[in-house]
Amino acid sequence: MTRQQSIGLAASGLLMIFVWGWCSGVSLSSLAVYEAEILSFRTNHPGLASAAAAGIYIVITAFSLPFATAATLVTAWIFGFPVGLLIVSFSSTAGATLAFLLSRHLLRDSVEKRFPVQASRIRRAIERDGAAYLLTLRLVPAIPFFIVNLVMGLTRMPTITFWWVSQLGMLPGTIVYVYAGSVVPRMETLLEKGVSGALEGRQLIQLTTALSALALMPWLIKAAVRRFRPQESGDR
């Protein structure tokens, strides 16, 4: 194994540990140790760090692991808004497309047996509305994303259509979550100043805006979808 491969593997492990730590509620001092190592690697090896984060995110999404939200926030927190948005947006769509392809070519019978009701509903809706129905599901997650990824593999939708519609439909939510993660203070700052001291002025406004957007976004998108599709059928 080359030195760069070793560094990439170590960074991947650190990022995964950090995601686990975020979900498990470990101490800020423990997270600060991981933070310093990850940020150092990101600065010295930006390409490898981005690839490691993207790879982990694709795996989380493709196999429906329960870390997607935490991974989004952590990735944004590490890389900032512009880079974090690129990583999360394209990686989440890549992972969803991989799950779609696995369902279509390897897991068709299992998915059909596991989600018979959702499969029947989505097939009827796709026959009626085509890609517009997938776009609606991405904007308003009436059905969990991982089920959508798998059941769509049972339909006749072309892979390229699934990809670009998912990319577009998941973008609004991704922007909000990445923005929220990007304005969270560093662990070192939280340790030195505490939560109230770290969140002052502009940063407090940014975090409040992000949290408000997270709370309002599902309602706003649902209202918009209903506005443009007033004749909602009983299939939803």
User: How far is the CA of 96 from the CAs of 8, 81, 100, 164, 165, in angstroms?
Assistant: 24, 22, 6, 11, 11
Place of tokens 């998941």: 170
117 closest CA partner among 142, 82, 99, 95: 142
Q: What angle do CA 229, 233, 235 make, to 5 degrees?
A: 125
- Alpha-helical regions (H) of the chain: 3-24, 28-44, 46-62, 68-79, 81-105, 108-114, 116-129, 131-139, 145-152, 159-182, 187-198, 201-228
pLDDT 10s digits, 148-188: 999 999 999 999 999 999 999 999 889 988 988 887 776 66
pLDDT 10s digits, 193-235: 555 555 555 566 666 666 666 666 666 666 665 665 544 444 4
pLDDT 10s digits, 139-155: 877 788 999 999 999 99
User: How far is the CA of 58 from the CAs of 2, 63, 71, 93, 159, in angstroms?
Assistant: 24, 8, 10, 8, 17
- With cut-offs at 50, 70 and 90, classify the pLDDT of residue 51: very high
Q: How far apart are the first and last CA of the chain?
A: 51
- 3-state DSSP assignment of residue 130: coil
138 closest CA partner among 213, 216, 222: 222
Output b/e per residue, 120-134; b: 16+ Cβ within 10 A: ebbbebbeeeebebb
DSSP letter at 185 equals P
DSSP letter at 186 equals P
**Is the pLDDT at 128 greater than 50, yes or no?**
yes
148 closest CA partner among 160, 131, 171: 131
213 closest CA partner among 170, 185, 175, 161: 175
- Single-letter residue type at 51: A
**Is the pLDDT at 21 greater than 70, yes or no?**
no
Integer Cα distance of 115 and 21 in angstroms:
32
pLDDT 10s digits, 85-110: 999 999 999 999 999 999 999 999 99
